[in-house]
Amino acid sequence: MKLVLAPMEGLADDVLRGVLTRAGGYDWCVTEFIRVTDSVLPLRCYTKLSPELRHGARTEAGTPVRVQLLGNDPTMLAANAVQLALLRPFGIDLNFGCPTPLVNRHRGGAALLAEPELLHAIARAVRTAVPAGLPVTAKMRLGIDDTSKAVDCAQALEAGGIDELVVHARTKADGYKPVRRWEWVAQIRRAVRLPLIANGEVWTLDDYRAIRAASGCDDVMLGRGAVADPLLARRIRGGAETAPNADDWREVENMLARFWTGVRQKVLPAQAPGRLKQWLGLMQRSYPQAEDLFRAVREARHGAEIDAILAAEGILAAPRAAA
């Protein structure tokens, strides 16, 4: 049984990855995507998105990091994979799941699921280009508007030589609606031999058990559920039957403090509040205390305002000096 922290564009950057993996429970995590177009990116592009590459491709907690690439040109993706391999990531992941309109308009992410032959060409080019010992994996949705090509896409990626496949159990059209097409993961599992990881709508321990039963997969990737409950992976590992509680919240407060400190060091003071609000917005699903804290910070527009609020709540030791 493996648990993997999902790539979440605009949400799970290196700061949040570091905080979540420090809580324990993950076998590895995957970065947000790096877009590949018509050039070979300099090494700094990879280390900017994944600073973990400067530290053995591991988070501060020691969790291995795979770096995700997004694009539609097999030759350029292969060339960038060779460049990325110089930094010794834990693995290279290929994005065939992003549903956002901007990415899809540029023929990236889930938009490629109409072209199994292109998926095969990309997988083959990248797998051939990088060292044999470096895992090349992929993450796909079930299709664009329907699931009619889901098995074809998975088989094309397998034939292309990928080592592992994550199946997000939604179509592009499903977006992030609460849709659970877990039975389709089971169909794909029966059609391929490569290791399969199930993903989609796992918010609780019960969801985790249900996706394993429905998909037949031992391994599961956690996405927004891991952000809503930062202790979810550890809860799953321990088989804990209790829902998030007040004792958990005290630990989550420490995680919030580490996260906020990291965000303040990374972004401009005016940009920082949005990051905290984004996390608290999702966390309200699991913790009523997060709802109270979200209301307290909702109107804050500057990092120093958040500093003062978190200090008043006892989450930070003292307010930071205004930046």
CA dihedral of 18, 25, 273, 280, whole degrees rounded to 10:
180
Is 217 part of the annotated catalytic residue set? no
User: Of the residues 29, 98, 153, 217, which is catalytic?
Assistant: 98
Identify the burial level of 74 via C-beta atoms within 10 angstroms of its C-beta, where 0-12 means exposed, 13-18 middle and 19 or more buried.
buried
Distance CA 153, CA 116 (A): 5
| Strands 136-140 and 196-199, bridge-based pairing | unpaired
Identify the burial level of 131 via C-beta atoms within 10 angstroms of its C-beta, where 0-12 means exposed, 13-18 middle and 19 or more buried.
exposed
Distance CA 169, CA 160 (A): 21
Distance CA 247, CA 140 (A): 37
The DSSP secondary structure of 210-229, one letter per residue, reads HHHHHH--SEEEE-HHHHHS
Q: What residues are labeled active site?
A: 98
